[in-house]
Chain A
Amino acid sequence: MSVMSPRPESSGSRAADPGSAAIRIRGLAKAFPGHLGIGRKVALPGLDLDVPSGEIFGLLGPNGAGKTTTLKLLLGLLRPDAGEIEVFGLPHTAAEARARLGFLPENPYFYDYLTAEEFLDFYGRLHGLDASERGDRVQRALRRVGMEGRGKTPLRQCSKGMVQRVGLAQAIQHDPQLVILDEPMSGLDPIGRRQVRDLIQELKAEGKTVFFSSHILQDAELLCDRIAILEKGSLRFSGALRELLPSQIRGFEVTLRGANLENLPAEHLWAGEEETTLLVADAVELERLLAECRSRELLVVSIWQRRESLEDLFLRELGQEPGGES
């Protein structure tokens, strides 16, 4: 498998200016004690990563890739064995750096003896917000996550999706410049996922940086300006999504209906009782196929453009593509 960019941003169009990086990670290494304390299991051998300000950055990778370890190191929940992490040019453990970020953990559990308003008020206090502004901020944050009018609901009565939304409100209520989300779509229904996607895009429009880990590649593809793919703690891939996923068409899928479907000039993809789907490589081959269809009086049901998706890229980079190099 080829590594398209062994160091961050080398394939991206915008080289990260250290002055404008929301997060700058250099040589970050972490190992955990092995089974029964014997040996060390390396989680991150030495990660370099830049997350530019004002962008949506997706940290992707299979289970055990090191995404959560990276986030925990970034948040100071783990101590690195080596390397450094800066948040807006400040050491990541500095209170000033923490004040500028908001965090939502994966599958959050919050204090279930509190109501949503009490919970947000508590976090407002931790961020040093005055009593006079906390009330407004709480209501605004609840409104933004679609929980308006439900602030008095005890968290123990909230569904998983509602808890996730309250957690998001907690992460954004103090108006942070950097929002770190660990699997933010996890546990949400399609409407909730759409709302979270919209919220992430709103945050970007406000100039915030959003750094999230996810294994839902469709969401990452819809949202991210930039991604990084981790595998076994190593950076396999990093760069701007619009450059990583070329916009050119990689083929056309044509679905036909009719009696005489033999020996058409296209690759056979799928055949049903009435319909058959074929693949052609480019517009010239498509034109040739359509001409053949007209001559045979076949009905063209649909034509779909085929582009490389993030999932294709992800699987290819991790050597999981059928027939791919591993």
Chain B
Amino acid sequence: MSAPAATAAWSAIRAIALNTFREAIRDRILYLLLVFALLLIGASRLLSMLTVGSEDKIIKDLGLSAISVFGVLTAVFVGVSIVFKEIEKRTVFTLLSCPVRRWHFIAGKYAGLLSVLGLIVVVMSGALCALLALRGEAFLPLLPAILLIFFELAMVTAFAILFSTLTNPMLAALWTFVAYVVGHLTWSLELLQARMPEGPGRVLCDVLYTVLPNLEWLNVRGEAVRGALPATEHLIGASAYGVCYALAVLVVACMVFERKEFI
């Protein structure tokens, strides 16, 4: 790509990302989800009182789960309609009549939504860390887990955008949830593969294990709650896996959108 083309691409992607960010942060649903998440983090203090001796673990566990679950809900509910709405309301007609390539549009939408998710993760993590700091607890061991939650959200968002280019929001949400659930069960394929005899079944397990998302690899919440830090190699490997997998899904989304006809 030539320098002027790269500048134009960057300018278009940034403009679309900013517009997507504006759209999301001016949407009341986002605030509703955020308030629920913050309430849950706050309530974890109350729930921890019901147990003996492990209050901080419960606060950390519930807090990290709230960040993950509400992040995923935002990624799914905002992500699945993000492309569909532009097509349905025909705003994409004027947008694509500008010197904007179709992949700029997908990349811009993705970057905008990821910025919103980044902001949400920062706000929720800030609330959780503040709660722990008030109790005199260390919150630094939580940061790697939070980083990997963000990369998990990046993968889920890429799936949401891909399905948004293919179908209506309802089906796109369903398929994104399926991808999320499958992503957390992929580890079982590895177990199954180890127990299977040599043959096509084992090859199939191997292929599925390689191709399907492995979101459990990005889950280090257990260690974080115990106050342990994940190995640096794991942190780097899992982060790189999240980024590469999200990019691969996004490339497929761009290819689907490139072939789309706006009848």
Contact B94 A118 (CB under 8 A): no
Q: How far is the CB of A116 from chain B (nearest CB, A)?
A: 14
Is the CB–CB distance between A78 and B263 below 8 Å?
yes
Say if the beta carbon of B89 comes within 8 Å of chain A. Answer: yes
Interface pair A78/B261, CB less than 8 Å apart? yes
Residues of A near B95 (CB, < 8 A) are 126
- Structural contact, A79 and B26, CB atoms closer than 8 A: no
Distance in Å from the Cβ of A247 to the closest Cβ of chain B? 37
Task: Give Cα A98–Cα B98 distance, bound, in whole angstroms.
Answer: 5
- Among the 9-residue stretches A105-113, A144-152, A210-218, the one with 4 or more Cβ atoms under 8 Å from chain B is A105-113
Q: For this complex, into which size category does the number of interface residues on chain A fall?
A: 20 to 34
Q: Are B22 and A78 in contact (CB under 8 A)?
A: no
Interfacial chain B residues near A180, Cβ < 8 Å: 97
Within 8 Å of chain B (Cβ to Cβ): is A101? Answer: yes
Cα–Cα, bound, A78→B262 (Å)? 6
List of A residues within 8 angstroms of B94 by Cβ: 103-105, 108, 110, 123, 167, 170
Mask: chain A, 121-139; 1 = CB below 8 Å from B; 0 = not: 0110111100000000000
Residues of B within 8 A of A128 (CB): 7-8, 11-12, 99
Residues A105 and B96 in contact, CB atoms below 8 Å apart: no
Interface residue from B11, B26, B91, B96 paired with A77 (Cβ < 8 Å): B96
- Say whether B223 faces chain A, with CB atoms less than 8 Å apart: no
Contact B93 A103 (CB under 8 A): yes
Q: Is B90 an interface residue (CB 8 A)?
A: yes
Q: How far is the CB of A136 from chain B (nearest CB, A)?
A: 18
Instruction: Provide the residues of chain A in CB contact with B99, threshold 8 Å.
Output: 95-96, 98-99, 126-128
Asked if A98 meets B91 with Cβ closer than 8 Å, knowing A114-B22, A125-B11, A125-B15, the reply is no
Chain A residues positioned under 8 Å from B216 (CB to CB): none
Shortest C-beta distance, B104 to chain A (Å), equals: 9
Which residues of chain A have C-beta atoms less than 8 A from B184's C-beta? none
CA of A72 to CA of B96, assembled, Å: 11
Query: Are B98 and A123 within 8 A (Cβ)?
Result: yes
Question: Within B200-254, which residues are at the interface with A (CB < 8 Å)?
Answer: none
- Cβ of A75 within 8 Å of any chain B Cβ, yes or no, is yes
Task: Tell me the count of chain B residues lying within 8 A, CB to CB, of chain A.
Answer: 29
**Which among A75, A79, A104 is the interface contact of B96 at CB below 8 angstroms?**
A75
Report which residue of B99, B101, B262 has the largest number of chain A beta carbons within 10 angstroms of its beta carbon. Answer: B99
Alpha-carbon distance A71/B261, docked complex (angstroms):
13
Q: Which residues on A sit within 8 Å (CB–CB) of B12?
A: 125-126, 128
The one of B14, B22, B93, B261 in contact with A118, judged by C-beta atoms closer than 8 angstroms, is B22
Q: Contact check, B15 vs A122: say whether CB atoms are below 8 A apart.
A: yes
In the bound assembly, the distance between CA atoms of A218 and B54 in angstroms comes to 80
Residues in B whose Cβ lies below 8 Å from that of A95:
5, 8, 99, 101
**Interface flag for B100 (CB, 8 Å):** yes
Residues of A contacting B8 in the complex (Cβ-Cβ under 8 angstroms): 95, 128
A98 to B99: give the CA distance in the assembly, Å: 5
B23 adjacent to chain A (CB < 8 Å): yes
Q: Is the CB of A109 within 8 A of B261?
A: no
A residues engaging B (CB < 8 A)?
32, 72, 75-79, 95-96, 98-99, 101-105, 108-111, 113-114, 118, 122-123, 125-128, 167, 170, 180
Other A-B contacts than A126-B12, A126-B16, A127-B99, 14 sampled, CB-CB below 8 A, are A75-B96, A77-B262, A78-B262, A95-B99, A105-B94, A108-B94, A109-B89, A110-B94, A111-B19, A114-B19, A123-B98, A126-B11, A126-B15, A167-B94
CB pairs A–B below 8 angstroms (6 shown): A32-B263, A95-B99, A113-B23, A125-B12, A126-B95, A167-B94
